[in-house]
Each structure stands twice: as structure tokens, then as C-alpha cells.
Amino acid sequence: MLAVLPLANAAEEESSNFLVSPNVGLMIWTLIAFSITVFVLNKFAFPKIKEALDKRATAIEDSVLLAEKSKAESEALLAEYRERLTEARAQADDIVLRARKNAEVYERESQDQARHKREELLEQTRKDIDAETRRAIEEIRTEVADLTILATERVTGKVLTGEDQKRLVDEALRDLDFSAINATERRN
């Protein structure tokens, strides 16, 4: 075992020296392997990686441009919407104002028409009253004339001729004042 220990120590020293002290042959092979790896990476991997990175950068730029464009469009649409909303409110206010004015005009016209209709009805009623008054007066005259002729025939005991009847009726009617009845009816 004693013999093995020095060998193990020597191997341990040699392996630790290997890491600390460079070997020229190992360095050449390492440089050759590194050069081949760099060449293969430059030939095949780096162009694909660069292409993927370029595509990614282009996609990001396009996304940013699209986002800016969308933002500008949305701001323009928002401004247009606000403008239309303002116009719609103005139109609504205008419609309400016109409706109020139309309602006032309609109310005035309705009142004027009602007043005119009332006046027409009152005038027609006055005319009807006057016509009825004249008709009633004529009936009264006829009744008075008939009663006068009847009373005269009874008092005198004789039948009167048409001329006598006319004379008696005219005298009786002259004595009656029908204008007072007519004037009283007109005042009411």
C-alpha cells in the first residue's frame, strides 16, 4: 500500500498539472476543434439564427407600426364620434325646441279656433233666438187676432165680414206693443 500511495500522489500531481500547465498538442487540437465549430456555426447556424432574429425584429417593428396606426385610427374615430355626438345633441336640442314652438303655436291656434267657433255658435244662437222670437210674436199676433174676432163676434152677436175682421185685428194689434217683447228678448 505504501507503494500505491506514491503512485496515486504522482497521478494526482500530474492531473493537477494538466489543468495548470498547458500542453501544446492539446491546445492545437482545441484550436482546430474550435475553428471547425466556428466555421460550421458561421456556415449553417448563424445565418438561420440571424434570419430568425431579423424576422422577429421585422415582426416587432410591424406590430409597433400597426399599433401606432391603430391608435391613430382609434383617436380619429373617437374624435369623429365625439363630434357626431355633439351634433346629435345639438340636433336633439333643436328638435325639442321646434317641438315646443310647434306645441305653443298649435295651442294658440286651437284657442283661436275654439274662440272663433264659440263666437260663431253664439251668433247662430242669437239668430235662432231672434227667429224664434219673431215666430212666437207672429203666433201671438195670430192668436190675438183670432181671439179678438171671436170676442167681437160674441159681444156683437153677429158674424163679421172679412173687411170688418181685418179692421178689428189692425186696431187690436195697434194697441198691443210687440216691440217691447222683442226688445226684452234681445237684451237676454
10-residue block means of pLDDT along the chain (188 residues)?
A: 50 56 84 96 93 95 94 93 94 93 92 92 92 87 75 70 74 66 56
What pLDDT, on a 0 to 100 scale, did the predictor assign at position 66? 93
The confidence score (pLDDT) of residue 142 equals 79
**What is residue 171's predicted lDDT score, i.e. its pLDDT?**
74
- The pLDDT assigned to 105 comes to 92
Q: What is the pLDDT of residue 8?
A: 47
Looking at residue 60, what is its pLDDT? Answer: 96
- Give residue for cell 430568425: 52
Cα distances (Å, whole numbers) of residue 127 to 17, 118, 121, 122: 146, 14, 10, 9
51, 54, 56, 62 alpha-carbon torsion, rounded to 10°: -140
pLDDT at position 53, please?
Answer: 95
pTM (2 d.p.):
0.39
